[in-house]
């Protein structure tokens, strides 16, 4: 059964606006990322920018999440909660922004280097960025969702890193997390067919060590089981008749 929503052109117009704003928030917060800034300060900068632009930060109170953005530092895979901990030279930090604008959700994230990072951290962040690009390139109208994980796996295997399996991309549009679930690793499932009018995210989390994760006692913070570094990039994309539009580019 095909239960993935197909949206019309007016939805695409709304999604373009929401996704453009999410991208602008990432650009805006990037100039605040230095050692000594706290992730709470980054949260507040983003929160205020989102509100001033007439939108709402989707994470705030989402299933009880306490903050407006996710800040995932070093071995944190995703869903890191902003706190009064300061960034320090050599950290990597993923900032994940989701805004709701006129009812439409725009979701994007990026991993930043703080000051001078190790070669391993630099290689990992580059690989995570390439993994997203490779995943997007695998999306074809009338292709299959399984092609995405296959392509990312083929690439990441050449880097000697691993792909997180516990968290996935997702359908988006007039809701935050809908069908389909986008696996970023190779799986034997061909998956459903990709069709024009679908909106979804691709957001591979790449670990320097093994793929396993665990959630801390706060119920949110996902970390690598082996404490290795993890990096992630995310875009929201729209499938069109002749290809793909990266809405958060």
Tokens 């709470």 correspond to 40
Sorted by sequence, the CB contacts under 8 Å of residue 217 that are 6+ apart come out as: none
- Smallest CA-to-CA distance from 165 within 175, 177, 156 is with 156
Tokens 């089981």 correspond to 225
Comparing CB distances to ligand MF3, the nearer of 14 and 59 is 59
> Hey, what are 49's tokens?
């920018």
Q: Does 201 bind Co ion (CB under 5 A)?
A: yes
As a whole number of angstroms, the distance between CA 36 and CA 44 comes to 15
Contact at 8 Å (CB) between 122 and 38?
no
Binding mask 179-218 for ligand MF3 (x = CB under 6 A): ----------------------x-x---------------
Comparing CB distances to ligand MF3, the nearer of 98 and 224 is 98
Q: Does 171 bind ligand MF3 (CB under 6 A)?
A: no
Q: Does 72 bind Co ion (CB under 5 A)?
A: no
Comparing CB distances to ligand MF3, the nearer of 91 and 234 is 234
247: three-class secondary structure by DSSP: coil
Residue 160 Cβ, how far from Co ion at the closest point, in Å? 26
For ligand MF3, the binding residues in 41-60 under the rule CB under 6 A are: 59
Cis peptide before 180 (omega within 30 of 0): yes
Q: Which residues bind Co ion (CB under 5 A)?
A: 96, 107, 109, 201, 234
Q: Which residues bind ligand MF3 (CB under 6 A)?
A: 59, 62-63, 65, 70, 79, 96, 98, 107, 201, 203, 234
């Amino acid at each position: 059964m095909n239960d993935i929503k197909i949206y019309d052109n007016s939805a695409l117009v709304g999604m373009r606006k929401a996704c453009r704003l999410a991208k602008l928030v990432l650009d805006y917060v990037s100039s605040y990322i230095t050692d000594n800034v706290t992730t709470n300060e980054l949260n507040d900068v983003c929160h205020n920018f989102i509100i001033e632009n007439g939108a709402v930060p989707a994470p705030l109170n989402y299933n009880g999440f306490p903050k407006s953005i996710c800040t995932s530092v070093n071995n944190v895979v995703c869903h890191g909660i902003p706190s009064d901990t300061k960034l320090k030279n050599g950290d990597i930090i993923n900032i994940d922004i989701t805004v709701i604008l006129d009812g439409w959700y725009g979701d994007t994230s990026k991993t930043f280097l703080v000051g001078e990072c190790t070669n391993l951290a630099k290689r990992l962040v580059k690989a995570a960025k390439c993994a997203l690009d490779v995943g997007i390139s695998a999306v074809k109208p009338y292709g299959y969702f399984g092609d995405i994980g296959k392509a990312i796996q083929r690439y990441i295997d050449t880097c000697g890193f691993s792909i997180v399996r516990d968290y996935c991309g997702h359908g988006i549009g007039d809701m935050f997390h809908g069908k389909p679930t986008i696996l970023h690793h190779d799986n034997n499932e061909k998956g459903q067919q990709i069709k024009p009018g679908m909106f979804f995210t691709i957001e591979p989390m790449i670990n320097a060590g093994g793929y396993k994760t665990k959630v801390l006692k706060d119920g949110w913070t996902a970390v690598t089981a082996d404490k290795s570094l993890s990096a992630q990039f995310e875009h929201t994309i729209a499938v069109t008749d002749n290809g793909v539009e990266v809405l958060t580019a």
